[in-house]
Structure 1
Amino acid sequence: MHKTLFLIHFAGGNCFSYRFLEKHLKGLKFMVLELPGRGRRHREKLIYDFNDAAEDLYNQIIDSLDTEEFIIMGHSMGALLGLRVTAMLEHTGHKPSSLIVGGSCGPLERQTKHHLLSSKELRSYLEEMGGFSNEVLKNDDLFEYFYPILKADLCVAEVNNPRDFSSVNCAIHAIMGTDEKETLNINNWEQYTKGRFSKDLFNGGHFFIHQWPSEIARIITTIARNPKF
């Protein structure tokens, strides 16, 4: 029986955000979920609420499930949403074999308010963080198109209460870049699984995933074959 890999994009992402990873994965059905207001769903209204975003993603997975075995992976904003969606799925009897979370140390009390930044301030922040598309950052018109999408996604990522998250039964595997500010807190994920917790660190910043596609694909493939990895 084949397994499905459901991927949840980072802030500002879309259904094409994991294209760099797809060619490195074999034997898995590859499905990138997409929030409204961008990509193939550009005609739909943006979502600003974390719970609404989680419900949207949950419904996408439920509508697409054609196998009992599946994995969820999310990066940054997608990691937090992945945890909530996994809990929702388990509550309704649809248990992923594993949850893979990247670029995030999990639910924590945060003081960041990047969703309140002006267009100029947000562009400077993204340039400093690195990894975001230079094509977008260097083009005024293109950045202004993405600015509302980024604002909405950052609101989803930042306006949520850590106490509202519950632990899941499936294994959690966390991956982060060594240069990320919150990397030292990666073990925070362990308290959110009743199953096995494991982790890997990669050289790089927040978007380290673009530098290590084959290595990350190898981890995903190993987990798909052995959820207890």
Structure 2
Amino acid sequence: MDAVRAPGPPPGPLPEVQGAARWLHPADAEPDAESRLFLLHHSGGGASMYREWPGRLPGSVACQAVQLPGRQERRREAPYTRLGPLVEALARVVSDELDERPYAVFGHSMGALLGYRLTVETERRGLPAPVLLAVSGWAPEGFSAPAALSADPLEALRLLGGLPEAVAGDPELLAGAVRAMGADGSVCADFSDDGAAVGCPVVAYSGRGDPLLAPGAMRSWAGRTPEFLGCRTFPGDHFYLSAHARAITADLAQLLPRYAAGR
């Protein structure tokens, strides 16, 4: 399928985002790095899922994880429940944060959805867009959320293996995770596929036994980009990422300089 870009109305102004520094971990990018990498977490998760990534990437890459409202240290803030407003807020956060350095976006599961729509939005607005989009565990075609996601967010977290023991054993953290998961489920349900393509290369990652992905789902990304870099598959299910973060960061460390240089 050829990549297509869906038409849309002229973009209005991006919304102001209060306390934008709270959105990024760390708040400031390493000044000596040559390129940047923004990381987007899965439904019900938070920026802490990427705590080991900066140490696994070379010093030439400034790594910042996005922390959405409604979880972890932002758990007292209202979470987003609509996709469009969240993507616009992310576009504001990222565009305000950027400097002259090229950047890439990586997202897992809901984070891949957000990274995709963030890239579409920045390109639509004529803002500096990523030189590389890396997506994991989600595709615009062939992805099916479990029924428990909307009926019982906690059960969905347990079924998918995405409920850390520290959270399961803390009533306050557990309540926050359930609230975030429910809101994130609404964000994901708000996605309606318009067939939009991105202008940058896309690389896809997935677990070989991911129950949420139909066979060949990740290969559908080939129709959303002028340069599909293929799908890297690993042993594991939807949360294969925790066991294979070292291999994924090593792959990104090879890809990012190549596409940053050709910007």
- TM-score, with structure 2 as normaliser: 0.78
Corresponding position of 2:64 = 31
Between Structure 1 and Structure 2, how many residues are aligned? Answer: 224
**How many angstroms does 1:108 deviate by?**
5.1
The 1-side partners of 2:47 and 2:35 are apart by 19
Corresponding position of 1:125 = 156
Q: SS state of the match for residue 23, structure 1?
A: helix
One-letter code aligned to 1:97: V
Unaligned runs of 5+ in 2: 1-32
Change in Cα spacing, 1:148 to 1:22, as seen in structure 2 (3 Å) is same
Q: SS state of the match for residue 206, structure 1?
A: coil
One-letter code aligned to 1:169: G
- CA contact under 8 A between 1:127 and 1:137: conserved in structure 2? no
**How many angstroms does 1:197 deviate by?**
3.4
Change in Cα spacing, 1:162 to 1:183, as seen in structure 2 (3 Å) is same
Unaligned runs of 5+ in 1: none
Of 123-132 and 108-117, deviating more is 108-117
Change in Cα spacing, 1:41 to 1:59, as seen in structure 2 (3 Å) is farther
1:74 to 2:107 alignment: yes
- CA contact under 8 A between 2:207 and 2:238: conserved in structure 1? yes
The 1-side partners of 2:127 and 2:191 are apart by 25
The 2-side partners of 1:102 and 1:77 are apart by 9
Corresponding position of 2:139 = 105
Corresponding position of 1:53 = 86
- CA contact under 8 A between 1:33 and 1:60: conserved in structure 2? no
The 2-side partners of 1:203 and 1:110 are apart by 20
1:218 to 2:250 alignment: yes
Of 61-70 and 168-177, deviating more is 61-70
- TM-score, with structure 1 as normaliser: 0.89
Corresponding position of 2:53 = 21
Overall identity of the aligned pairs, in %: 25
**How many angstroms does 1:138 deviate by?**
4.2
Q: SS state of the match for residue 100, structure 1?
A: strand
Q: SS state of the match for residue 162, structure 1?
A: coil
The 2-side partners of 1:90 and 1:66 are apart by 17
Change in Cα spacing, 1:226 to 1:111, as seen in structure 2 (3 Å) is closer
